[in-house]
Structure 1
Amino acid sequence: MGQQLFDMRTLSAPKIVRLEGRAFSNLFPGHLGGVKITRQFCSCRGIFLKASYSTTRTSSQAINSVRQDKLAVVNGSSQILGAIEASSILFSRETSVLDAFEDEYEGIVVNSERLPSNPHTFASILQSSLSRWKREGKKGVWLKIPLEQSELVPIAVKQGFQYHHAEREYIMLTYWIPGGPDLLPANASHQVGVGGFAINDKNEVLVVQEKHCAPAYVGSWKLPTGFILESEEIFTGVVREVKEETGIDTEFLEVIAFRHAHNVAFRKSDLFFICMLRPLSTEIKVDDLEIQAAKWMPLSEFLEQPVIREDNMFKKMIDICIARLGKHYCGLAAHQVVSKFDGKSSSLYYNVVEATDFNCLGG
């Protein structure tokens, strides 16, 4: 018993250290039982070992430091001084927090790529995370759950999360921590469509017949239309749609007019922009998936269609396009501007009439 049971080398080699019948696993160099070990000498004979655990910001886990435990080895005997409180155990509910970061509105955005794969673990850590964020005075929590982990959705809902929106790859849920009305922004309220009015030097309009349409419009010729994609500009979206449906390359000139309707698809509102385009090619190549036919049609013939003459909205839109051709109407061109509010470049649509380079006569 008078012989010292271990020395400094025992802390750097994986082995089992036995102290008075107790076995301690030295799992990693410098660690005892998974707890970081630091050495400290004192006036007494022996070595005091400090056990502590903390996390870094990179994992976004703010875990309380474990109170110091001292394992004393004096004169060949060992003593465990102090006790680690239950509230500071590594895997306790109070110390495990989801990996996340703070947004600019004092909210929390959970890292969807590091969600626990086990549903029971997720439920426990989610509960402790909400407790921590409430104590810290956070506001909204954004939780994006990937499709492959959809079994976590009902767990989050049971703990008070609400559906916000869904995409093909994920579902977004939110949790409003403060009392009172939920101030988190709602899901997108609009869909955005575009239509391209392209007319060539022969006064012919580029028109299409769609394969799938309402019975009342079967056989009718219409302008190429479609929806813009996420993060796509209006002026690039309309050029892309015309190219995909007809194979014709065009150049965006102006937004001529737009329509605003409500309760269209999935109870969402709809913005539809009519854009003036300049054709850059002539050969038509039809998209067989969506388009039945496409052609260059004389403007006068296009206007004589019942779907144009009998519909006030369509007729008005075409009248505006014709007025623009005669320079009796001003459209809105796209201008790139940067706002100090967010520091981002965006497209501002407006009309500029200058004496040296005007694009319409006004009136």
Structure 2
Amino acid sequence: MELKFLDSKSSSLSEKAALVARTKSSPFSSFEHSVGVKFSQEFSSCRGVFTKASYLSSNGTFMPKRAISSVDKEKTAAENYFYQISTNGPGSSLFSRNIGVLDACDDEYGGVVVDPDRLPVNPDAFAPMLQFSLSHWKMKGKKGIWLKLPLERSELVPVAVKEGFEYHHAERGYVMLTYWIPGGPCMLPSNATHQVGVGGFVINDKNEVLVVQEKFYAPSFADVWKIPTGFILESEEIYTGAVREVKEETGVDTEFVEVIAFRHAHNLDFDKSDLFFVCMLKPLSAQIKVDDLEIQAAKWMPLVEFVAQPLIQEDGLFKKIIDICIARLGKHYCGLLPRQVVSKFDDRPSCLYYNVLDTGNVNCNGN
């Protein structure tokens, strides 16, 4: 069985009436009044458009539920459809059903964000609604369509892909698909391009560095002692992520001092770029409690012994990071401190990391 939309622009009334006449011999002949569809809209930025049908009477006369003004004709021109069912038998039939535009909100860039909480459960119901919605949004001059399908609606993914939607990104509980309506290159923003990591350089009053050996490592890192590192969590600040990672891996409480440096690398895990922030932290406790899931061992290691490791001496990146940290300990280098700022672009607080050379700062003189 095949569902076809018959646009009112492409089919004359007589053609529709002829098609209606053939329903007498179809499985749908119980429909005494086959339907010519005229839609009335109930639409706001976050509500769907629901269709209401006007009828062809049994003698073939078109009987609209209400008169259609010239304005109505303009509004509904792209939305007047008959639904033709092609069967394996000798003929086709027309029938009507209430098909609505998927519930969605307009975004600020001329696009549409479909409401994931109001999606049809049945893929067979979703398919015609999606087709009709795309036609409606095209007529309205919309651009990008964002379709978020929760895990419990995963059976709708093949339907959307068949209609031309593309994968954008996925999380544990959903997959996001997009559709670009205008011709030319897609202008929708791509998925997140970076992952963000942190490392905590923790040194105590005895000039000992808090170091770890990880359980899972490349052969070249065997027997290497390194600073605690990890990825920051979603919506987590850099400085709180560094403090958390040190606590999780070693059990040591710390206080954030400064961002000492950061590295930018490309084409790493999943071909993503990587930002890695090295943070200097002040220890607030000394007792070590190792995280058995990730860490093989942890200890306080004399700074000179830590620096003397072959990997540190032979690796340009590691050696430079340690040189910067030592310069900071000698107050010859100033790192970056977070300051809370609010931008008028989004009216949200955020952290801006920068340093201010202050001659009265006893911790850093920058000389």
Query: Shorter-chain-normalised TM-score: which range?
Result: 0.7 to 0.9
Partner of residue 34, structure 2: none
Deviation at 1:67, TM superposition (A): 6.1
- 3-state DSSP of counterpart to 1:266: helix
Q: TM-score, normalised by structure 1?
A: 0.78
The answer as to 2:289 corresponding to 1:302 is: no
Question: Is 1:208 matched up with 2:208?
Answer: no
> Closer, same or farther in 2 for the Cα pair 1:180/1:345, shift >3 Å?
same
Structure 2: distance between partners of 1:249 and 1:288: 18
Which structure has the larger Rg? Answer: 1
1:290 to 288, 291, 294: 294
Segments of 5+ residues of structure 1 without an aligned counterpart are 1-51, 70-79
CA contact (8 A) 2:55 2:62 kept: no
1:61 aligns to what? 48
State whether residues 208 and 223 of structure 1, in contact with CA within 8 Å, keep that contact through their aligned partners in structure 2. yes
Deviation at 1:359, TM superposition (A): 4.0
**What is the identity, as a one-letter code, of the residue corresponding to 1:241?**
E
> Relative to 1, partners in 2 of residues 1:94 and 1:141: Cα closer, same or farther, differing over 3 Å?
farther
Name 2:12's counterpart in structure 1.
none
CA distance, structure 2, for counterparts of residue 303 and residue 269 of structure 1: 28
- 1:110 corresponds to which of 100, 114, 117: 114
Tell me the equivalent position of 2:150. 146
List structure 1 segments (4+ residues) > 6 angstroms apart after TM superposition.
88-91
Within the candidate set 180, 192, 195, 1:176 is matched to: 180
1:231-310 superposed matches below 5 A: 231-310=235-314
Q: Secondary structure at the match of 1:309?
A: helix
Counterpart position of 1:12: none
1:119 aligns with 2:123: yes
Map 1:184-195 → 2, pairs under 5 A:
184-195=188-199
Q: Distance in 1 between matches of 2:293 and 2:100?
A: 51
Q: In the alignment, residue 312 of structure 2 is paired with which amino acid?
A: I
Q: CA deviation at 1:344?
A: 1.0
Partner of 2:226: 222
Question: Which structure shows the higher helix fraction?
Answer: 2
CA distance in 2, matches of 1:242, 1:83: 72
Give the SS at the match of 2:184.
Answer: coil
| Residues 15-164 of structure 1 aligned to structure 2 (within 5 Å) | 55=42, 57=44, 60-63=47-50, 82-84=63-65, 87=80, 95-164=99-168
Identity of aligned residues (%): 66
Give the superposition deviation at 1:118: 0.3
The farther-off stretch of 87-96 and 231-240 is 87-96
Deviation, 1:95, is 4.8
The number of aligned residues is 302
Change (3 A) 1:298 1:64: same
Change beyond 3 A, Cα 1:249–1:334: same
SS of 1:128's equivalent in the other structure is helix
SS of the aligned residue for 1:321 comes to helix
Question: Taking CA–CA contacts closer than 8 Å with sequence separation of 6 or more, which of the two structures ends up with the larger relative contact order?
Answer: 2
CA 1:280 to 1:110, structure 2 compared with 1: closer, same or farther past 3 Å?
Answer: same
TM-score, structure 2 as length reference:
0.77
User: Which one-letter code corresponds to 1:230 in the other structure?
Assistant: E
Q: What SS does the corresponding residue of 1:251 show, helix, strand or coil? A: strand
Q: Is the 8 A contact 1:93 1:125 kept in 2?
A: no
Give the counterpart letter for 1:171 in structure 2. V
Gaps of at least 5 residues in structure 2 are 1-38, 67-78, 84-94
Counterpart contact for 2:103–2:118, Cα < 8 Å: yes
Note if contact 2:197-2:277 (Cα within 8 Å) is conserved in structure 1: yes
- What amino acid is the match of 1:61? G
How far the C-alpha of 1:168 sits from its partner, in A, is: 1.4
C-alpha separation between the residues in 2 aligned to 1:87 and 1:210?
A: 65
Distance 1:121 1:293 in 2: 57
Contact 1:65 1:88 in 2 (8 A): no
Report the 3-state secondary structure (helix = DSSP H, G, I; strand = E; otherwise coil) of the residue aligned with 1:361: coil
Aligned pair in 2 of structure 1 residues 261, 81: CA closer, same or farther (>3 Å)? closer
Matching residue within 332, 336, 340 for 1:328? 332
Match of 2:359 in 1: 355
Q: Is the 8 A contact 1:260 1:270 kept in 2?
A: yes
What is the root-mean-square deviation in Å for CA atoms of aligned residues?
2.6
2: CA distance, partners of 1:274 / 1:257:
5
1:230 and 1:92 mapped to 2: Cα distance? 47
- How far did 1:176 drift? 0.7
